Chain A
Amino acid sequence: MKITQWLKQDLIIEELNGQTSEQVLKEMVNFLKDKNLISKEKELYQKLVEREKLGSTGIGGGIAIPHCKFKWIKNPIVLLALSHKGVKFNSLDGKPVHVFFLVISSPDNPSLHLQILASVAHLARKGGNLIKTFLSAKNSQQIYEIIKNEEEQIS
């Protein structure tokens, strides 16, 4: 499965304003709300915060995959958000997070959820290079092109 099936060019935040995990989670949720992709945004925010309390989704290397299952959506949503300055996210390696892949999926389909996480993981495994390329990209269009090209090489 390709991440670009879910992650579209207009689902990229070029620069997050927030500095803390709560701030950036709220920012991402509000972004989806403004695009009318979700309702019940308070519940969604709460679920994401609760998930982080169970253990940070900052998996190290500057990447975080905040995610939750949310019953108020049908199709999964994948959002990419960047922070050049970095966000403190209680990452496993203690380093600030620069690249966030937010994944929201329906509780009805745990297998699809895993496949989406896998496609994010395949992309993220490219490691530091990918983060550097993301952060040096000019705009969301360029970032989207990078992802598409990377995925063609993976598969």
Chain B
Amino acid sequence: MIEKKIKIINKLGLHARAASKFVNLANRFKSKVRIIKNDDEIDGKSILGILTLAATQGTEIILRVEGEDEEKAIQALENLINNKFQEPE
């Protein structure tokens, strides 16, 4: 199991399209993906789950990834967040 604290840096935060990109990417891996924000913990493969977090720009989340491909998965997901979901701002 790997955990990593990551800051949401894109202007719009974890909005719907970003959430859907995150879920698409997470689904390419076998590992379980959880996102924790304060007291909330949700399934990182659920768009609705991610939307309930209302993670705005500047929010710190914890990614918790567990499974056989956890290292690749967390790297890919972290890159997606740090690349601002490949959206122009």
Contact = CB atoms under 8 A, between A and B. Distances in A.
B47 A59 contact: yes
Contacts of A92: 20, 47
A2 interface: no
Nearest to B57: A110
B14, B17, B48 pick with most chain A CB within 10 angstroms: B48
Contacts, number: 51
B17 A113 contact: no
B56 A114 contact: yes
Contact of A117 (B16, B49, B57): B16
Contacts of A65: 16
B52 interface: yes
Given A55-B17, A117-B15, A110 B48 contact: no
Contacts of B13: 110-111, 114
Q: Categorize the interface residue count of chain B.
A: 10 to 19
A57 B16 CA distance: 8
Interface string B1-33: 000000000011111110010000000000000
Given A55-B20, A59-B47, A113 B52 contact: no
Nearest to A67: B16
A37 interface: no
B55 interface: yes
Interface in B46-77: 47-49, 51-57
Contacts of A60: 47
A118 B15 contact: no
Given A55-B20, A57-B16, A65-B16, A114 B54 contact: yes
A155 B53 CA distance: 14
A79 interface: no
Contact of B53 (A57, A113, A118, A124): A118
A113 B15 contact: yes
A109 B16 CA distance: 15
Interface string A59-82: 110000101000000000000000
Interface of A: 54-55, 57, 59-60, 65, 67, 92, 110-111, 113-115, 117-118, 120-122, 124-125
9 contacts: A57-B16, A59-B47, A92-B20, A110-B13, A114-B15, A114-B54, A114-B55, A121-B48, A122-B52
